Amino acid sequence: MFEPYAENVHGDFYVEKDCCLCCHVPVTLAPDLFRYSYDSEGCPSHCFVSQQPVSKDELERMFDVITCADLRCVRYGGSDFGIVDRLTELGQKAICDVVINSFNENDESPPPKT
């Protein structure tokens, strides 16, 4: 449903393709977790996840990025419901693929609560 940029390192967090307005938030707040991809003229074209968060500090900074980046192009594709719950608390349930995928478009009821 959501297509990641090819440069994203394998793992649960990723930057969605064709989402970029160069907000600079991820690379500013978490330069160890995100890097820029550059166009042929050397200008940043979008960011991507260069390292998945492992430590508690890295995970907190990933949450900071997700909370501060208005376009919501940093997404969570994993199924750790501890992380889904935390993202829900932060008002970011919509970036969790497991929540979006469980919502049947033919069903007019709201997405399930987590």
30 in contact with ligand SF4 (CB under 6 A): no
Residue 9 binds ligand SF4 (CB under 6 A): no
Measure the CA–CA gap between 111 and 114, rounded to whole angstroms: 9
Among 23, 29, 98, 100, binds ligand SF4 (CB under 6 A): 23
- Which one of 9, 68, 71, 94 is in contact with ligand SF4 (CB under 6 A)? 71
Task: Please give the single-letter amino acid code of residue 16.
Answer: E
Positive or negative torsion for Cα 92, 96, 98, 102 = positive
| Cα 50 from Cα 72, distance rounded (Å) | 17
Residues that bind ligand SF4 (CB under 6 A): 15, 19-26, 46-47, 69, 71, 73-74
